[in-house]
Chain A
């Protein structure tokens, strides 16, 4: 059995509305090994959720359309599978949890029904066995008195509890890959930590790989092995967590890191922001998509799109000035802001 679980090559996703085409994902590539976690980070609208949803072919079509690339899962290209074959993979080999646990559970079915549905769909078990398994899953995700809770409805659960239920549903068929689309964004900070802890614990138990979509780099450092930084539908930096954490290279990644609260941020100090906003993806982007907001940008950045280059082992960056030969000098946080204001 190959160690490579998922290989995404040049994935392109477009949304058509009338005559305008929005290129939401523009040539995303990455690989994920078994038991490995990858974090996809970026601002809202950078294409991270679309990328993840496309992996399960859950993009609403139309208007969405996976217009190019390959998604090789255990060597099979998911884009060539029939609907039936794809359904056998969803919830079974690859499952997904969503951002808002308050809306992602169906309000009119009991929690038990919703967990058992997945189990009965993918495993040849009797109703009784499915129920046993559902109770076991609820117990595993830390829900007290699972036999009683089984018959309750989502509105009788708190947000954190509902996300636990979602995790129970997602893991009930022992998937090889779990796609978590901002699973902690809608939760309280204390609950966030619990959910992450739970995901880490269960990953060890189930040997599942995780694709973690988030805009919280703290989450990435916590549980991921690899990071994919996305901007305007493009991957701009990709590498191991150690590399990106210790030696981030793309100016956009620097911007993301600088805008985080860390121990070094002094009291009453303003947090740094990246000025401007992401480009309109309905329009053709010439050059580097980040150039208009980049304080290091020079003429070439506006005319030619940078290629993804492996600058060090397992560290890829798409920037004209971060190559094997050349390096940019990262400005200090404060000077970074000043430089931006001047430009």
Chain B
């Protein structure tokens, strides 16, 4: 297992390198001189030329690339000119906000989605099951930007219960903090909730009729433990896969949700940076998000083993 994890960590290096190459090329292929965009229409030719030189954009492409990779390997992500601060500080400032939003949305999705899926499987073909199927289908197909706007219109504009945008500060009390968090969390949680529920239902249906579930009942276990312990642990593997993907995509910045609610996370940062043509920020953010994906993926793969002892990694393993 230790060897496997080490191997997987080493494997991350080429993955991230490929991402770095691709994103480097894409940002260089964008039309227009980034220096000109950054300085705005009033800038003189000399100013633009000076910034172009400063950004190293006059160097041949391969030199720019090696400079960039060299800095990256030394942990130097460079400075953002538009934000006027080191990119690493920028990420450190924004990323915790994204984590807060993702964690709260994930919590909602798990607390609502998983039990709903279990109950639907238990009561297959009941009215609850039909209602569940309808709502979960609505949930996965709901466009987030529309839902987000509707939530704001209804709960903020009409009812005035929650603030429409921004992030609350803990200095103004926990209530203020949470009231800012609720609407974006619900918007971000909608699709994962429905997805978790559907996956849970279908994989529970698969295991619920297995012999070992009958064995558990014949031992005299309460139905709650039969379902939530014996059946659910067997149904967990597909759920973990979806969970992993959702965690990655949420931590990678919920671009739509953060934009609608002006949530100062990395999703909003990346959109901002693209608009300002701050390619250094965009480049590094993409690599940072790629890093989140590979790390979460590895954690999910390790968790499979914890949940299912039949899965073996490494030599002679089945997976």
Contacts and interface: CB of A to CB of B under 8 A. Distances in A.
B220 A91 contact: yes
A117 B219 contact: yes
Contacts of B220: 87-92, 118, 121-122
B212 A107 contact: yes
B43 interface: no
A91 B310 contact: no
Given A106-B234, A108-B233, A108-B307, A169 B219 contact: yes
Contact of A105 (B215, B308, B309, B310): B215
Interface residues of B, number: 19
A121 B221 CA distance: 8
A103 interface: yes
B215 to A, nearest CB: 5
A98 B310 contact: no
Contacts of A121: 219-221
A299 B135 CA distance: 60
B211 A103 contact: yes
A278 B310 CA distance: 41
Interface in B107-164: none
A98 B309 contact: no
Max chain A Cβ within 10 angstroms of own Cβ: one of B210, B215, B230, B310: B215
Interface string A78-109: 00000000011111100110101001111111
A122 B221 CA distance: 10
Interface residues on A, range: 20 to 34
Interface in A148-183: 153, 155, 166, 169
Given A98-B211, A103-B211, A108-B307, A58 B217 contact: yes
B219 A108 contact: no
A109 B214 contact: no
Contacts of A153: 309-310
A56 interface: yes
A96 B218 contact: yes
Contact of B310 (A103, A107, A118): A107
B215 A104 contact: yes
Interface in B214-229: 214-222
Nearest to B219: A91
Contacts of A96: 218
B230 A56 contact: no
B216 A106 contact: yes
A95 B219 contact: yes
Max chain B Cβ within 10 angstroms of own Cβ: one of A105, A117, A169: A117
A155 to B, nearest CB: 5
Contacts of B307: 108
6 contacts: A88-B220, A90-B217, A98-B214, A108-B234, A117-B221, A155-B310
